[in-house]
Structure 1
Amino acid sequence: MTDSRHIAERLLTALGGPDNIVDVENCMTRLRIGVRDSGRIDAPAISDTDKVLAVMPGLNCQIVLGPGLVDKVANDLKAALASTAKTLSAGQPRSGNSAEELASVGAAIKQRNSDRNNTPVKNALRRISNIFVPLIPALIGCGLIAGINGTLTNLSAGGGAPWLAGITPLFAVMSSGFFGLLSVFVGMNAAKEFGGTPILGGVVGAIIVAPAVANVTVFGQVLAPGQGGVLGALGAAILAAYVERWARSWAPDVLALIIVPTVTILISGLATLFFLMPIAGRLSVFIGEGATWLLGNAGIGAGFILGGAFLPLVMTGLHQTLTPIHATLIEQNGYTILLPVLAMGGAGQIGASIAIYFRLRRNTSVRKIIKSALPAGFLGVGEPLIYGVTLPLGRPFLMA
């Protein structure tokens, strides 16, 4: 038995058993394990496990193992969970379209999808999504405030409520402040995700939006503040994380506090100004023009493909990787033209679930699942309907 398998088995027990584990993810140094009941976690047993450096219990339990080993343990832990799920599934009788059967089928499908998508490319995409997911509440809040401000501005300009002219600047500040510094927040999250210091990632992200950038000429081109946007900040912060780790590997301990941040900012900053901002700037323009062209010329075909592809992305969690594209479009236009089209996939799930609710009038267990999952679906969270209702039944998922 390898060390990683031994560690995974000990962690499986100390985390409260397979039925207490919701999901398993990892970054460069730590496991991130979602659990149903944090009270079932045996933190001392985890700490006493060989090669475990630290444990932070909670609903999102984090276990520090260090680079290299964390990948092996994560894979072994997922394999152990998959094996347990198959054993339980094989021993359970089928009883028609009951709530228990649908839950079992949905969980099995989810686990198979997770195993199938455990590839280096898709894991890298998940790490990118981890950077942007924490930003979603701010994107939603500031976006709604911007929408309210737009309505108030129209009322004021149209003469219906001229007194609103004194209020709209307040809403404009609250909605635009976050978007003006979006590159900084992306830089901080990216540096953290890739094993760097968040504040240093924020520093290189701030270079992109700094007004003084307008005084910089690179290869005959005058840079503009914000050029490259979130894509430039993402690349700059990831680079900064690797430079920082490299600098820490050789900097003397007594001088690390001075050498590491200076070298990190200097190298990453120059690379950002000379390469990342020009390249990311062109890529951002291409994304904006490409999305506009696609929906302007491909018509209903584009909508069918985008909406149909969205739910499989949701199943694997890769839909969050679209957030950088949405953020880029918001930076350019003030809105994203893709999200309303993609959201129709979720709307299809709601429609299919409502249809099932009325078709299966005597199946109280399925109707109970639908009633509990529909509110989340209306709020944009489609996984309960996908894994609890439409996907286990098959055809409703395809029709959605």
Structure 2
Amino acid sequence: MAELNILSPVSGSVLPLDQVKDDVFAQKLMGDGFGVEPTNGKIVAPVSGKVTLIAETKHAIGFKTDDGAEVLMHMGIDTVELKGAPFTISVTTNDTVSAGQTIATMDLNAIKSAGKEATVMLVITNSNDVLSSINVHTGKITAGEQAATAEVKSTESAVSGASKVDISKDSKYDKLAREIIKNVGGKDNTNSLIHCITRLRFYLKDEKTANDDAIKNLDGVIDVRHAQGQYQVVIGPEVTDVYDAAIKQLGSQFADDDATAQAVAETKAAAGPDNRSLWEKTKDGFSALIGVITGSMMPVVGLLAASGILKGLLQMAVDFHWTEVTSQTYILISAMGDSAFYFLPVVVGFTAAQRLKADPVIMGIIGGVLVYPSLIGIATGKVVTGHLLGMVLNTNLFGIPIHMVNYTYSIFPIIAGAWMAHYIERWLKSWIPKILQMIFVPLFEVMIVSAVILVVIGPIITLISTGISWLLNAILTANYPIAGLIIGGFYQCLVIFGLHWAIVPLIANDIASKGYSYLNAIVSMTMVAQGAAVTAIFFKSKLNNIKGLAGAAAISAFCGITEPSIYGINLRYGRSFIMASIGAAAGGLVTGLLHVNMYGFTGALIGFPSFFTPAKFGGGMGNEINFWIASIVTIVVAFVLTWMFGFKDSDVEAAKNVTKRKTLGKD
């Protein structure tokens, strides 16, 4: 343990860091330290050590002490906008300075005339790694006098000069950033880091130190380039996530926002006009949409699979009369299995916002608005105030009649909301003063996005769903085998966008009024087909992560929950979803030819008791046998097609290479 004496870099009044008027510093996001309200502009070195950073706009200087403490001195608040005019720096990067040595001046009058705060903030950016404690001496002080005493632990770099962190809490971006930093030579070999639309761009002291091969082989890296005096690591669309993680580890003194903005603008301009055909644009747009949907769902796929298995086991317990749906045990376990699906808009709102660069917490709250009990009560109630284009108007907003939808189990409206929120946030922040943004950005964002979903997106989805349900019902009435073929082949496409919920009332109405549902029998085969496809992938793949996901998704699908199969595997790799849909079409055709009927609501393999014919309909085992024949046909066709044509392990790497081809053409 060593003691580090930190001097005040300027004469004035020392104040605790949490009292400075900059949220980032006040919340100690940059590290622990203190602030000084200056009375003159003479700046001295707060510690002895090496100068590691001088910002291009001269408002910030970084130091590294012999004890390993990384000290950042930030002169003024938002003074980066002044482009260096008020500052004169008398040292250069890599200079060795002594504590108390005069190193700069700042023009306080110029800063105040520009409407900026002149507060000097000093923080130890690797506080979590090197500090045991820090004691700040508040009050009036002269430049060069002791302002704080810190207890510094003995440290060693975790990765060639990068700070130690708790890697057990790392995201995939943190881990990738850490490996890249290590292999470019760590902090000690890094001058600064910017990014463009697809690449991290390092300014290194010695590019020969970087290990090209190691970086190229990292999962998440597409390629490495040496160009424009930069060491460029090609990441692709997720470059900003990796960049943020890298700067978090390196320290903000390594960032250059102006250079980054210029690089982004230049690479966009260099891309030139978009000469793709309408078909190519449509195809790429659809691929991007599917990417957003699957990317938003991937963090919760495992949870959905587990919940689906639990729901299947609970249904089995009911079918075998081990419990009743009215029992307290059923209610409690049902809540455990159903919660992930019921509150899906909340969870997906958070994950979609992370992917689409909106505020995850705000989108989680908007998801909560969609599943708010009072709104669900309106959507599922019987109050009717009017009709519009076949929709029931069941409530009003500011006196305007609207159609309220039940958003539980839905994902597409909240993903659309996250996309809107990204642009609305930027617009709000462009005109709301920074000091008011913490309150008014969430206020307006929640109101605007929630209102658009409730008033526009929900009713549009209802109109589309109503049309689809009418069409499916017409096909089913016309010819059962043809209906089985068509509905079986396309039903899971509706699941992707949440449009399948329009079919549920048809099924529920059939079972309530007639006691059976031919439509539900077809739907059941589509679940079996998705499960069969991921089962084939489970047995074929040699990748542990794919096998683990496919196995859990298969069990869930056979229990009637196909979301993990679709979003986790089949839709991500495309062909397997198509093969599963062909298998479902074959199973649906056989279901129609054998006139398989369904006398319960629960489908897939777990729902086999729903296919026993009740005594009032004649009884017997014929329908149950036909159900198993159709299921076996579905499983065989989906399994074999997926095994032969739907998936191979190289598809996982191919997905990465597609991104590589696209991104290398942009920069």
Whether TM-score is above 0.5 comes out as yes
Partner of 2:395: 216
Equivalent position of 1:187 in the other structure: 349
For the structure 1 residues 272 and 14, does the alpha-carbon distance in structure 2 shift closer, same or farther, using more than 3 Å as the test?
A: same
Residue of structure 2 equivalent to 1:30: 241
Equivalent residue runs for 1:21-170 within 5 Å: 21-22=219-220, 24-27=235-238, 29-31=240-242, 69=264, 119-156=284-321, 165-170=327-332
Residue deviations 1:369-400, cap 9 Å, x none? 8698995565566899x9xxxxxxxx973498
Report the Cα distance in structure 1 between the residues aligned to 2:430 and 2:371, rounded to whole angstroms.
30
Shift of 1:136: 1.0
Q: Which runs of 5+ in 1 are unaligned?
A: 34-40, 54-64, 77-115, 311-318, 354-368, 387-394
In structure 2, do the counterparts of structure 1 residues 26 and 70 end up closer, same or farther at CA, with 3 Å as the change threshold? farther
SS of 1:16 mapped into structure 2: helix
1:69 corresponds to which letter in structure 2? V
CA distance in 2, matches of 1:253, 1:161: 57
Q: For residue 167 of structure 1, give the secondary structure of its aligned residue in structure 2.
A: helix
- Larger RCO: 1 or 2 (CA < 8 Å, sep 6+): 1
RMSD: 5.5
Q: What is residue 4 of structure 2 aligned with on the other side?
A: none
State the partner residue of 1:256. Answer: 437
Indicate the structure with greater helix content: 1
Matched, 1:397 2:576: no
Contact 1:229 1:280 (C-alpha < 8 Å) held by counterparts:
no
Distance 2:357 2:262 in 1: 10
Identity among equivalent pairs (%)? 14
- The whole-number CA distance in structure 1 between the counterparts of 2:197 and 2:405 is 52
What is the one-letter code of the residue matched to 2:528? P
Partner of 1:199: 361
Q: How many corresponding residue pairs?
A: 304
CA distance change for structure 1 residues 5 and 48 in 2, over 3 Å: closer, same or farther?
A: farther
**What TM-score, normalized to structure 1?**
0.55
Gap change, CA 1:399 and 1:232, over 3 Å in 2: closer
- Describe the superposition over 1:171-218 as per-residue Cα deviations: whole angstroms up to 9, x where unpaired: 111112222211112222222222111121122222222233327326
Contact 2:351 2:360 in 1 (8 A): yes
Q: Is 1:143–1:175's contact at 8 Å kept on the other side of the alignment?
A: yes
Please tell me the residue identity of whatever aligns with 1:341.
A
Q: Partners of 1:17 and 1:118 in 2: how far apart?
A: 32
CA–CA separation in structure 1 for the residues paired with 2:198 and 2:335: 54
Q: Is the 8 A contact 1:27 1:194 kept in 2?
A: no
CA contact (8 A) 1:243 1:264 kept: yes
Q: Work out whether residues 14 and 43 of structure 1, in 8 Å CA contact, stay in contact via their aligned partners in 2.
A: no
CA distance in 2, matches of 1:141, 1:6: 35
Task: Please state whether the residue corresponding to 1:17 is helix, strand or coil.
Answer: helix
1:93-134 C-alpha deviation (Å, 9 max, x unpaired):
xxxxxxxxxxxxxxxxxxxxxxx9994542343123211111
Question: 1:120-157 CA deviation, whole Å, 9 max, x = no partner?
Answer: 5423431232111112122111111111111122333x
**Alignment correspondent of 2:413:** 232
Give the direction of change, closer, same or farther, for the CA distance of 1:67–1:152 in structure 2 (3 Å limit).
farther
Task: Establish whether residue 243 from structure 1 lines up as the match of residue 454 from structure 2.
Answer: no
| SS of residue paired to 1:282 | helix
Correspondence list, 1:275-286, <5 A: 275-285=456-466
- Counterpart contact for 1:25–1:31, Cα < 8 Å: no
* Distance in 1 between residues matched to 2:355 and 2:469, nearest whole Å: 27
TM-score (normalised: structure 2): 0.36
The 3 A distance-change label for structure 1 pair 232 and 339 is same
Structure 2 alignment gaps of length 5 or more: 1-194, 204-209, 222-234, 272-280, 379-393, 509-519, 555-568, 576-641, 648-667
Partner of 2:214: 16
Shift of 1:247: 0.3
**Bigger share in strand:** 2
Corresponding letter in the other structure for 1:340: V
Structure 2 distance, partners of 1:342, 1:349, is 11
Deviates more, 1:9-18 or 1:198-207: 9-18
